[in-house]
Structure 1
Amino acid sequence: MSYYEPRIFVEKIIDVGEEKILLNPRILFIRAFMAGAILAISAVFAITVGVQTGFPIVGAVLFPVGFCILYLMGFDLVTGMFVLAPLAWLDRRPDITLGGVTRTIATTFIGNFLGALLIAFLTSVIFTYGYTAEVSHVGEIIANIGKNRTVGYKEHGIGGMMTIFIRGALCNWMVSLGVVGAMISTSVSGKVIAMWMPIMLFFAMTFEHSVVNMYLFPTALMLGGDFSVLDYLIWNEIPVVLGNLVGGLALTGLPLFAVHLRSGALSKA
């Protein structure tokens, strides 16, 4: 069969979480760095396609290509780690500690950020011909995204903060479904289909993904976006990370764990 039953693939999810926690930190960092870089390329690709066609939905439809590539290459996003690592700890796997979970998430986060930051610098060079010309149209769009999704939230105060958090939670609900959904299938085509649907949905709905934002906002700042680093951290990245964590764990990881693993164990007791 090219399909795992839910109980089987939930056990597989926890196995993968355990494997990532026990992975050599240097290897984990490299995997995270490459994931951040590939997702950044995918983000600028989607924006470019939206600008070229005049239909942002086309960019959203194509954006998941980067996610599929990095997953099939065995690279790691912190948004997926928000689900995989805590479940291994909750399942009381031997040698899995809360400190190990925290270290794994932190290493992945830093790797993702540095990978995305590299692409931010490289594309900012492209958008300005090495900072010798006016910012290109795509670059202007990215700079405006940076302003609208920081200062734009800030103008609404607590309402804006709630909106960021909820968009982050809904985003990683979809993204984590893509991560675990890929484990349902044993075929490449099955994995790609399972990943493509929820990833396309989050991008089309302009939900907030912390790793995509690690590319968008530094790029916007490099291109003269009208907001500050502090605006980016307080009015986007930090609440988005928290929303991603809550959404992935509460809406994907814990329900799967409770329904398909814990319920099965209790029924056998």
Structure 2
Amino acid sequence: MSYLLPSEFAKKMVDAGEAKLKMATRDVLIRSYMAGAILTLAVAFAVTTAVQTGLPIVGALVFPVGFVLLNLLGFDLLTGVFALVPLALLDKRRGCTFKGMMKNWLLVGLGNLLGALTTALLVGIAWTFAFTTEPGAAGQAIAKAAEARTLGFAAHGGAGWLTVFVAGVLCNWMVSTGVVGAMLSNSVGGKVIAMWLPIAVFFGLVFEHAVVNMFLFPMGMLMGADITIADWLLWNEIPVILGNLVGGLVLTGGMLYATHYKTGAPTAEFSEKMN
């Protein structure tokens, strides 16, 4: 199992940020759409396994399958570009601008949303005989979670908003670490392990992920949750997006860039020992 040293994967992070920033609009939308669809299908899978076993930890252990698949297929999540794309600007890569970064984030967010909504609709149809029957246990669990993670925060006012923001920060600290994890190894097995671990941590601790929530709340409403779109946006999606931005940019991308980028290439002897 090959392992890349920090000074090696730090350069890959910046290169990836530049490549994503310069990607054609068509490709950004396709890749982000598929990322949103695959990740959120894994949410349905995780909730189902948690309900079937009665053990939420089981859901956390199986959820990373979606993240692993979308990354191996080269698709993009908003949480990932929050961590990587700004590095291209920090490194002053040619043609990388703040305007371009904002456009990239908007397109990726839009693609993720459309993919998540597609999955919500398809899973909703599959779980309710095209909305002609009441949802089963998994659907009811999602509806309850949607209410708890909007109205539950709203009940605490400003403290609730701050709490969900911090949960977003902590989430993308781990999720963007998973994005970097895909760069730690040149083998599929190494990539999978390095991605699986931090994603299981975020899901198991029930932190808040913007793209997961693009599925959770629309799906919850389809399953009967007594919330509105305004509840979802104000008491979850907006603070979560802001928290994910801070967590990915500051705690992952920024920290790794600050300490490992341009610190000198590893010696050939040391690299050989690590591989």
Query: TM (normalized to structure 1)?
Result: 0.96
2:270: which partner in 1? none
RMSD: 1.2
Q: How many residues align?
A: 265
Amino acid at match of 1:33: Y
Provide the C-alpha distance between the structure 2 equivalents of 1:225 and 1:12, rounded to a whole number of angstroms: 43
Deviations along 1:209-248, one digit per CA (max 9) or x if unpaired, are 0000000100111222111100000000000000000011
Work out whether 1:172 is the aligned partner of 2:177.
Answer: no
1:65: which partner in 2? 65
Work out whether 1:107 is the aligned partner of 2:113.
Answer: no
Q: Which runs of 4+ in 1 moved over 6 A?
A: none
Amino acid at match of 2:124: S
1:252: which partner in 2? 252
Provide the C-alpha distance between the structure 1 equivalents of 2:101 and 2:4, rounded to a whole number of angstroms: 26
C-alpha contact (below 8 Å) 2:79/2:172 kept by paired residues: yes
Provide the C-alpha distance between the structure 2 equivalents of 1:125 and 1:142, rounded to a whole number of angstroms: 15
Provide the C-alpha distance between the structure 1 equivalents of 2:34 and 2:226, rounded to a whole number of angstroms: 29
Provide the C-alpha distance between the structure 2 equivalents of 1:109 and 1:262, rounded to a whole number of angstroms: 31
SS of the aligned residue for 2:261 comes to helix
The structural deviation recorded for 1:127 is 2.1
Provide the C-alpha distance between the structure 1 equivalents of 2:84 and 2:33, rounded to a whole number of angstroms: 18
The structural deviation recorded for 1:264 is 5.2
1:80: which partner in 2? 80
2:141: which partner in 1? 141
Question: Where in structure 1 are there 5+ consecutive unaligned residues?
Answer: none
Query: TM (normalized to structure 2)?
Result: 0.94
Provide the C-alpha distance between the structure 2 equivalents of 1:264 and 1:160, rounded to a whole number of angstroms: 44
Amino acid at match of 1:4: L
Provide the C-alpha distance between the structure 2 equivalents of 1:5 and 1:55, rounded to a whole number of angstroms: 37
Question: Where in structure 2 are there 5+ consecutive unaligned residues?
Answer: 266-275
Provide the C-alpha distance between the structure 1 equivalents of 2:137 and 2:59, rounded to a whole number of angstroms: 16
1:159: which partner in 2? 159
Query: Sequence identity, in percent?
Result: 53
C-alpha contact (below 8 Å) 2:78/2:108 kept by paired residues: yes
C-alpha contact (below 8 Å) 2:32/2:76 kept by paired residues: yes
Deviations along 1:146-171, one digit per CA (max 9) or x if unpaired, are 10000000000111011100000000
The structural deviation recorded for 1:95 is 0.6
My pick for the range that moved more, 74-83 or 118-127, is 118-127
1:126-137 matches, cutoff 5 A: 126-137=126-137
Provide the C-alpha distance between the structure 1 equivalents of 2:197 and 2:181, rounded to a whole number of angstroms: 10
